[in-house]
Amino acid sequence: MFSAHLPPGDYEIFNVSFFENRGYFGTTTFSSKRDFSARFTVKEGHAVYLGEFLSHPVLGKIFFGMSVTAEGYFVVANKLHRDLAVLSGRGEKIASDKVTIMVPTFLLIGVPVFRDSRAE
């Protein structure tokens, strides 16, 4: 888990990616096949919660039958209360009424790279 302190203003997430280290076979970065728009505003004294994003590989086979990651997706979940407790343990106290939850936004923008944790 990580948090970032952003100055007040308008922001947009338009693509996501994840990285796979394949050891001797090198590395690969996977990203959304098309850009999208997830806009949010950071207000002074408030936080924006994007959610929990767990990456999941989708396997395919290469020409000699070896399974490799062919693509992937993120399972998105609202774990706000758990994550606020973690931040509190790190000395960052944030009141839940000062948090804008963005989790539904990622599930409604209609790109297959995001999946709802409740459907898994």
For residue 17, the tally of other CB atoms under 10 A from its CB is 11
pLDDT at res. 70: 66
pTM over 0.95: no
pLDDT at res. 18: 80
Q: What is the chain's alpha carbon radius of gyration, rounded to the nearest angstrom? A: 17
Question: How would you write the pLDDT of the chain (120 residues) with one tens digit per residue?
Answer: 889 999 999 999 999 888 777 778 777 787 888 899 999 999 999 999 999 998 887 777 777 777 776 677 888 999 999 999 999 999 998 999 999 999 878 788 878 888 888 876
Are 62 and 25 contacting, i.e. CB atoms less than 8 angstroms apart? no
Residue in the block written with tokens 């039958």: 65
pLDDT at res. 84: 96
* 3-state DSSP of 23-67: HHHCEEEEECCCCCCEEEEECCCCEEECCEEEEEEEEEECCCCCE
Dihedral angle over CA of 37, 102, 52, 73, nearest 10? -30
